[in-house]
Structures are given as structure tokens and as C-alpha cells.
Amino acid sequence: MGNETLQEFAALDLDYLIIGGGTAGLAVAARLTEHPWFHVGVIEAGPSVLNTGDNGAINVPGRYGETIGSKYDWKFETTPQPGLGGRSLPWPRGRILGGTSALNLMAWNRGHRKDYDAWAELGNKGWGWEDLLPFFRRSESFHPPSAAHQKYYQSSYDPEVNGTKGPLHTTHAKQYGPTHQYWHETLNSLGVPSTQDSLAGDNTGVWNMVCTIDPDSQERSYSASAYYHPIAKRQNLHILTEATAMEILFNFEDDEWYATGARVRWNGLEANIKAYEEVIVCAGSVQSPQLLELSGIGNQDVLEAAGIETKFHNPHVGENLQEHIMTATIFEIPSTIPTRDDILKDPIQREAADRAYYASQTGPWTVMPCSVAYCPLSNILSPEECDELHTQAKEVARNTGRTHDALLASQFESGQARGQVEYLFDLGNWSPYFVSEPGKKYATMLQMLQYPFSRGSIHIPPMSETNYEKATIDEKPMIDPRYFLGPGEIDKKVMAKALRWGDRICQTVPLAKLIHGRVFPPPADGVKTEDEVYEEFVSNYTVTDWHPVGTCAMGEADGVNAGVVNDMLQVHGVHALRVVDASIMPLQVGAHIQATVYAIAEKAADMIIDDNFARNGPL
């Protein structure tokens, strides 16, 4: 149900209050309310665009990216990054019912099985690949490609690992760009094999990206449309949109803190919303640690500087920030090849694309960037380069003594087959830094580092030095990824080598037949070597890949000494409070993360229900 006022919402008898109606939050809400005796409320800061006319930029697949920087984006920015020449990067996050699943590029893949087994190695029981696979499958209804599609586009799948009854629609894109027909053959000739299904626990190799798209309507499938919309009339589910959770409320009983609800602001009014069982924070990797700190859970030094009373000191809140990083190299291609840039620049072509899409769900707006390869370091680096970086990585692990870093260092061992760098080739100019020349056309090679050593933090800001008022939810958190600093220097070296390999892909036939040459960065001019060009480019033009994790991480083996939540996702040091989103991931995975976030939400819902039954008995 929806359309309640704040006063009506505050009067509800809620068992569970979910803060954040995004990717994870709506999935948890949908599963909990399958049990009619659980009454669930969801607080979402953004609006809903379901059943409104203002949703084309969200629903139409080929219009991906239009909502970034819009009113549906929190418009976060990092602090100036010394490792990036002092640049601050935009960090898009969804401020809308559905969260970032309404803004992302709809990529649907899972990490390597070893990614999740590493979580279990850290002591997080029940979080290995085999444990998570049922929850991956539960979230999706996969629509397999037709025989003709498989033959023409080299699309393939493994029916044993795909879900068929979940809320989210997933499928191969209806159409691919004209260069995709050369992708598999080019990578195969470089020794990178094609992979049958990236969802099967081994995504190393060449494959076609699956997308969260309904193949019948050719619309984006996201948490609001898939998990919430079909059940919106459930009497035990209540959604309050355009409402901001200001802090989590607690009672102090018998020397223990118990979460009891949240202070919420809506339409200029404030009220306390109560939850009789649990408060579940699903605010994402940026705002979940922010909300914990504003509520008195975090590093005491950070809290005191912000004017917040400490309820429980945990120095790990907001730390362990990990993010995929990306560079975009640009190549000139023949002017006769159609690209997405044509539609974005030419009103006549855009109008034609709109007509084709709305009349028959065909045309350019159904074309998606799907030419993908996850390459191990053995492809990208020479054996000598691997050995050198392995030595440096082992030294980092010895210095920190952290199992996390030892697991990261193992990627440089000979025989490791995980795809440490993702390559995605697409037509058009994707770079925010390169200005297209009139009359010329371009293609983009994206290089995305999957397992970064760079570790950063997200914290609330300190009090103002002028008015000494404590930090509030209205002040954006300080996002400091510390790109390429400290152990992150290893990332910079890998990224520079990744550019070299990306060039080699584009110089290999048959793909090379369509490429005139690299224009960004320009080729070495004799003053600098190509390696120097790559290194400078990485510093000056690396951007975020929009996959932050780890700021409320699980740390079960060492409990509160290593993490923010336990393997039941319960926040250490308090009761009746959980975090369920990408922030709980202790280590980054080699994948676009939305499928993993949905699996986390599905698993969390089961744990919450089981806990309730254990306390209260089946109802």
C-alpha cells in the first residue's frame, strides 16, 4: 500500500521498518510480506515513477545513463583524490523508489565462485558460492535467447544455474551493435575462450552480458517494477516515499541498546516511526554507514568530531570501502557505422528511434552494450610482471596482517583464472573527457579493475567550526576512496597494463578491420613511450564504475574486531538492527554487483523470517 501521510505512517503497528526502498530494501520487503502477519514499512527518500509519464529515461533500455545527474540521483562526489591528480569524481546513487537499480546500466552477472567462497573463508558462515546460488536463482526469471539469437550473436546459457520463477526479468539484449559479431572471434584468437554462461560461477572469458530487461515489454526490470509493483496492494506493506530517515532510534535497557525505529522527515514534518521487531537499514554503501554514525554507532573519534553521542564504538563503520575503477579509451571508426551518439545528437533520428520503440519494441533503443570479456592477469601481464606485482601484494598482506589482503594477493599467483579486468567494447564515445570531432565516429573500450587494493572510507563530516552544530542527514558524507594510494599503487600498475591489453584487442582482426586507430589517449609521440602514456592516462582519466561495497562489512571470524555486522547481518553492539545491502560485502566481487545485492536481500529475508519464528514460533 502507499499514499499514506507521515502521521498515518507513524500510527501503523509495524513489525519491521526498512530504511531505503532501493535494490535490496524492496526485495526484503516483498519477501517479508509474503507472510501476512508481518507488517512492514519502507522509508524511501526519493519519489516513485511507477505508473507515471516521467519514466522513459528509466524504463527504455537504450536510454541508459540519462538519469545520472538528474533529480533521481543523490549526486554524491568524492573528496579530491591525490591519486587522481586532485580530481573529485561524481558518485551516482539512486534517489528513487527502486534505488540504483533504476539508474544502472542493467548489467546482470555474478562473480566467480571463488569471490563468494572468499567471504566464507573470512569466517562468514553460509556465504559461499553454493550457499548463495539458490538466492541468486530465486531473484530472477531468466528468459533464454532463441536458437536464432544464439546462432547470430553467439549467446548461450546454462539452464541449471538460471532462475525461472523470480520477480526480476533477465534476458539477453534483443539487439547488439554491428561490431559485436567480431567480438568473440577477436578475443578467441588472443587466447581468451568463450564462456557458456557468466552466471554459472566462472565468468572468466568472453561472453554476452545478460540484462535486467523484460523481453516482452522491452522495459527495464528493477526492484520497484519487479518486486514492489506486483504486490503494491498488500495490506501488510506500507511505503512512504520522499521521506528521509534522520537517525535510528534506540532504547537503553539492561545496559544494552535496542533499535526501536527511526526519526523521519516528510513534507517538512517530523515523526518517530516505531518497529516492534527490527529496523533494517538498506541505504547502500554510502548512506548505511552515514546513518549508523548519525545514530551513534561508529568510530568514537569520528562521532565526537561530528557532535554525535557514541552509543557503540566500532572503528570499522564506514571503513573498508572498495570500488571498481574504470578507464575509457576511444577509437575512431568508419563514419558509415551507426552509433548511439547519432541518436543522442540528431533529433530526427531520436524521433525515429522513439517511434520504433513505442510502436513495436524494436529499433536502437533495444540495443545494449553487451560485448564483454573478463580477462585474468595471465592475459594482461607477462610472467615477470605478475611475479613483481605478486611480491608487492604479499608485502602488503604481511604489513597489514589482514586475511583480506592475503586473499587479494593470491590473484597474482600462477594458475589463477579469475577475470581481474573486465573489458567492454561498445560503439559511441563513452568518455566524459574526450570531445568528439564533428563528422567523425568513435567506439569505446572500457577497462574495469575487479579486485582493487585501494581502500577508502565514508564518514559523516565534522561539526562546522563556525556554529558547532552536529552533523545531520542533510550534509553529504565524505567519500574518500583513496584511489591508487598506499596498497592501491598496485591498482595503478595493473590498470596501466590493462590499457595495453585493450589496445591489443583493438589491433587484432577481425575487430581491427573496423578501427582506424586510437585517439584518446593519443598514441605516443616519441617524447613519451606508450607505457608512459598509459600511466599518465590512468592518473588523469580513471573514473568510478559505480560499484562501491564494504563500508558495513561482515567480519564474522573476528566479530566486532573486524566488521560491522555478523554473518546474520546483525549490527555488532546493539540489538534489533541489521544492514542489508552492498555495504556488507567484505571483499569486492568480479562482477557488476546488482545480482549479488539481490541475492544478499533474498538470503537476508530468509534469515529475518527464521529469526522471528525462532523467537515467537510459527504464526
Q: Which residues are catalytic?
A: 547, 592
Q: Which helix (DSSP H) or strand (DSSP E) does residue 403 occupy?
A: helix 403-409
**Angle (CA) 171 548 475, round 5°:** 125
CA 318 to chain centre: 17
Distance CA 460, CA 239 (A): 27
At 169 the three-state DSSP class reads strand
577-579 and 237-240 strand pairing: unpaired
Q: Which three cell numbers stand for residue 94?
A: 539512486
H helices of 527-593, in order, are: 530-541
Which residues, 6 or more positions from 402, have their beta carbon under 8 angstroms from its beta carbon? Answer: none
Contacts of 415 (CB under 8 A, 6+ apart): none
Beta partners for 141?
164, 169
**Concatenated DSSP letters for 1-14?**
-----HHHHHTS--
How many CB atoms sit inside 10 A of residue 1's CB? 13
Phi and psi, residue 571, nearest 5°:
-70, 130
Residue 101's nearest CA partner among 587, 581, 605 is 581
| 15 Cβ neighbours under 8 A, 6+ residues apart | 38, 39, 40, 275, 276, 277, 278, 612
Q: Grid coordinates in use for 400?
A: 597489514
Question: 575 with 277: CB under 8 angstroms?
Answer: no
Task: Give the three-class secondary structure for 258.
Answer: strand
Residue 367 is classified by DSSP as B
Q: Are 142 and 157 in contact (CB under 8 A)?
A: yes
Q: Which amino acid is at 336?
A: T
- Within 13 Å, how many C-alpha atoms sit on residue 77's CB side? 8
Q: Are 574 and 250 in contact (CB under 8 A)?
A: yes
- Residues sharing a CB contact under 8 Å with residue 312, sequence separation 6 or more, in sequence order: 257, 296, 297, 572, 573, 574
User: Which residue is it, cell 545520472?
Assistant: 68
Residue labelled with grid coordinates 567494447: 425
Q: What are phi and psi of 189, to 5 degrees?
A: -70, -20
SS3 state of residue 105: coil
- Provide the b/e sequence for 580-604 (b: ≥16 CB within 10 Å): bbbbbbbbbbbbbbbbbbbbbbbbb
Residue 100 labelled as part of a binding site: yes
Instruction: Please give the radius of gyration of the chain, using alpha carbons only, rounded to the nearest integer.
Output: 24
What is the C-alpha separation between 34 and 36, in angstroms, rounded? 6
Task: Give the C-alpha separation, 320 to 454, whole Å.
Answer: 9
Annotated binding-site residues for FAD read 100, 546-547
